[in-house]
């Protein structure tokens, strides 16, 4: 799938928000953000960047874990992701390399198609806090490609959709500084910010289809 027009990208994220609102999710979702190209009002949008803030599964069904491990070879269903969701979407159950169910991969399999030019970030903390945490880690390791672009827009939180944010996305009315300027505002000097912005853009340009990352802060 090629790049999306801005209108198509915003419509796609609106469908994703609708799914989060109305459908059973593998884990509770508290916030939906977009960042990067679509937040900047670019047209077309080369890749759609979506951020989900998830909560822990507090009311699971742990006694069904053994059942799903026997039927699907995956540990943790009923404890880490919802057994009710797994009953409805058995084909979307995904596990990590250790064979334990992976909430971020399950969310991606439920919400996205493999060929969509979408990157999904899933974390247990809000977007703004994770921007700061990822920046610290990336600087410490010199891994600037792991930075989370701070130019984000919250579209949905705790069941409430921001129609104003959607309207501004559709119109391309949001105004953000450049990526390097945004990173400078977060504490980088100008030279480091420029290097980091270049590294992040180069890494992003290499990505194809649907990609997903899960973080725990």
Tell me: the pLDDT tens digits for 176-205? 999 999 999 999 999 999 999 999 999 999
**Residue recorded with tokens 């916030």:** 31
Q: Which of the four pLDDT bands, split at 50, 70 and 90, describes residue 2?
A: confident
Query: In Å, how far are 42, 47, 165, 196 from 193, measured between CA atoms?
Result: 22, 22, 28, 5
DSSP 148: P
Q: Are 203 and 145 in contact (CB under 8 A)?
A: yes
Q: Which range among 35-49, 57-71, 76-90, 121-135 shows the weakest confidence by mean pLDDT?
A: 57-71
Q: Are 24 and 6 in contact (CB under 8 A)?
A: no
What is the rounded average pLDDT of the residues 50-71? 89
Any residues with CB less than 8 A from the CB of 93 and at least 6 apart, and which? 68, 72, 74, 77, 81, 86, 101, 106, 109
Short-list 121, 5, 26, 134, CA closest to 74: 26
């Amino acid at each position: 799938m090629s790049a999306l027009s801005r209108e198509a990208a915003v419509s796609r994220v609106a469908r994703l928000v609708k799914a989060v609102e109305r459908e059973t999710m593998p884990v509770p979702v508290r916030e939906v953000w977009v960042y990067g190209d679509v937040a900047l009002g670019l047209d077309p949008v080369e890749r759609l960047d979506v951020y989900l803030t998830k909560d822990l599964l507090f009311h699971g069904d742990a006694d069904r874990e053994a059942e799903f491990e026997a039927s699907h070879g995956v540990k943790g269903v009923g404890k880490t992701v919802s057994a009710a969701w797994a009953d409805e979407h058995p084909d979307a159950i995904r596990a990590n390399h250790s064979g334990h169910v992976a909430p971020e991969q399950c969310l991606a399999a439920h919400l996205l198609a493999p060929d969509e030019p979408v990157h999904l970030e899933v974390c247990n903390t809000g977007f703004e806090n994770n921007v700061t945490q990822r920046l610290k880690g990336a600087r410490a390791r010199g891994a600037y490609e792991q930075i989370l672009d701070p130019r984000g827009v919250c579209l949905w939180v705790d069941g409430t959709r921001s129609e104003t944010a959607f309207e501004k996305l559709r119109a391309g009315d949001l105004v953000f500084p450049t990526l390097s300027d945004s990173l400078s505002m977060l504490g980088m000097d100008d030279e480091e910010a420029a290097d980091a912005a270049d590294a992040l853009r180069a890494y992003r340009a290499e990505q194809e289809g649907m990609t997903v990352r899960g973080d725990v802060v």
